[in-house]
Amino acid sequence: MSFPKGFLWGGATAANQYEGGWNEGGKGPSTADMLTNGTHTTPRKITRTWEDGLYYPNHTASDFYHHYKEDIALMGEMGFKVFRMSIAWSRIFPKGVEEEPNEEGLRFYDEVFDELHKQGMEPLVTISHYESPFYLTEKYNGWASRELVDLYVKYCNVIFNRYKDKVKYWLTFNEINCGTMPLGGYLGLGILNEGTTDFMNQKDDPQLRFQGLHHQFIASAKAVKLGHEINPDFKIGCMIAFMTSYPYSCNPKDVLKCQKEMQMGNYYCGDVQVRGEYPYFAKQYWKENNIQIQMEEGDEALLKEGTVDFYSFSYYMTNCVSTDPDLEGIGGNLIGGVKNPYLKASDWGWQIDPDGLRYTLNELYARYQVPLMVVENGLGAFDKLEEGNKVHDSYRIDYLREHIKCMEEAIEDGVDLIGYTPWGCIDLVSASTGEMGKRYGFVYVDSDDYGNGSFNRYKKDSFTWYKKVIASNGEDL
């Protein structure tokens, strides 16, 4: 048996895409609440107020806010050991700047954590998953301002103290490295520059983005230090969107281009958060892109003192990198790249590559030598609700099975992998397109792209399959 005893099997969600109740219980609007719906080919819009005639899918999402007991019972039935979720910052501090937190918001998460423990699960909490109070975007242009560091640490202080006996596993920022890409300006950093109207084509300012990332590194390091003071048993991790690139050919020009893309796209942030210092290649990138990082005295020491306990990442797909402009490109939520002739793709063009997960786990473990956790993975697909409220999602089972096999091989290779939480374990709203129809779950949520439906929950075929996988600790695939 390869999966170690105590392996953390579970599933993952994020408040903005799953919770709903966007203006209930004293919650303030978050950056995600300003995003309209879109499709694979129509980008989501970002609006500064809610416009008539536009639909904002994150407002209702999957309505976990009113279904949490039922949902947690379903996860318990599958045998989850861990449930990854996020706290909506604007449920705790509606504008982000208040002196006192919102007690009703705190109580909601108390109830959720109690329910999880009742069902035998550890919560794994992302402190900020692609959202911050929208007020902070209006007042400070989000993380472009250093003001957000103290506001985030104040928020952490409240939730760490409140939940110190209920939550052990924390992640400081979801997919922090999306801030190295123009799309991540608004998504991860809450930066909304004049003239941006559309999520896929933002008015980008690399100086603000990389300075914003520096602020997040400082905030993350401070949170790690603070968390360990509050409870030395806390395990606090980073979270990276890992998108392995292969050189398209053995042309050394392709190999070099690929290496550069891997450095800035995948390693830049993890290197800071695990090793406590900027990697050597950062300086050259800043120089080439005319970026000047404003560091305050003590920042370098702080980064060293606030390194994470483990490394977590999402893994969906890989791409190829080529210097040949005539090769066919691919889609993806954050990256493009060139089509790999050896791989098949999802309906959204994401190339499916289980072996790439084994490769990635080995690469990461060789580089960092800290425990690893795969906190997102899965297949976004159109599901069909059939007679008797059944969903026959054998394609999803195939995808997950192949990835689990490759994780098992990586463990045999010697990688210290401690957990696996497939994405959107109960259907939720897609981050890149805002669709409900791009489903990842073991549980079907009866709602369409416009929030029409009963919101009833139905078990898919993958539900029974995953339950068996967990019960056998990964033996029975």
Q: CB under 8 Å to 19, separation ≥6 — which residues?
A: 61, 62, 63, 64, 65, 88
Q: Of 130, 355, 161, 177, nearest to 274 (Cα)?
A: 177
Of 182, 380, 419, 451, the one binding ligand BG6 by CB under 6 A = 380
Q: Which is nearer to ligand BG6, 17 or 90 (CB)?
A: 17
d(CA 237, CA 105): 24
Of 90, 244, 333, 360, the one binding ligand BG6 by CB under 6 A = 333
Q: CA geometry: angle at 305 spanning 301 and 241, to 5°? A: 105
Distance (Å) of CA 354 to CA 316, 321, 408: 9, 19, 11
d(CA 195, CA 297): 34
Q: Which is nearer to ligand BG6, 130 or 143 (CB)?
A: 130
The two three-digit tokens of residue 65, written as one number: 């806010």
Of 125, 171, 224, 241, the one binding ligand BG6 by CB under 6 A = 241
Contacts with ligand BG6 by CB under 6 A: the residue count is 15
Asked if 94 and 22 touch (Cβ cutoff 8 Å), the reply is no
Is 360 near ligand BG6 (CB under 6 A)? no
Of 438, 439, 457, 459, the one binding ligand BG6 by CB under 6 A = 438
Q: Which is nearer to ligand BG6, 241 or 302 (CB)?
A: 241
**Can you tell me which residue has the tokens 């409240």?**
158
Q: Which is nearer to ligand BG6, 106 or 317 (CB)?
A: 317
Is 14 near ligand BG6 (CB under 6 A)? yes
Is 376 near ligand BG6 (CB under 6 A)? yes
User: Catalytic: which of 19, 122, 175, 408?
Assistant: 175
Q: Which is nearer to ligand BG6, 247 or 396 (CB)?
A: 396
- Read off the DSSP letter of residue 73: H
Is 430 near ligand BG6 (CB under 6 A)? yes
Q: Which is nearer to ligand BG6, 14 or 404 (CB)?
A: 14
Is 38 near ligand BG6 (CB under 6 A)? no
Is 396 near ligand BG6 (CB under 6 A)? no
Asked if 123 and 166 touch (Cβ cutoff 8 Å), the reply is yes
Q: Which is nearer to ligand BG6, 14 or 82 (CB)?
A: 14
Is 269 near ligand BG6 (CB under 6 A)? no
376 in active site: yes
Torsion (CA) 407, 409, 415, 416 in degrees, nearest 10: 50
Of 312, 314, 319, 346, the one binding ligand BG6 by CB under 6 A = 314
Is 115 near ligand BG6 (CB under 6 A)? no
Q: How many CB atoms lie within 10 A of CB 23?
A: 12
> Which residue(s) pair with 389 in the sheet?
none
Q: Please identify the residue of the shown chain whose CB is closest to the bound ligand BG6.
A: 432
Of 9, 130, 186, 463, the one binding ligand BG6 by CB under 6 A = 130
- Name the pairing type of β-strands 8-12 and 443-445: unpaired
Alpha-carbon Rg of the chain, whole angstroms? 21
Helix (H) or strand (E) run with residue 108 in it: helix 103-118
Of 210, 278, 423, 466, the one binding ligand BG6 by CB under 6 A = 423
Is 317 near ligand BG6 (CB under 6 A)? no
Is 427 near ligand BG6 (CB under 6 A)? no
Q: CA geometry: angle at 100 spanning 94 and 101, to 5°? A: 50
The residues carrying an active-site annotation are 175, 376
The residue ranges that bind ligand BG6 (CB under 6 A) are: 14, 17, 130, 174-175, 241, 314, 333, 376, 380, 423, 430-432, 438
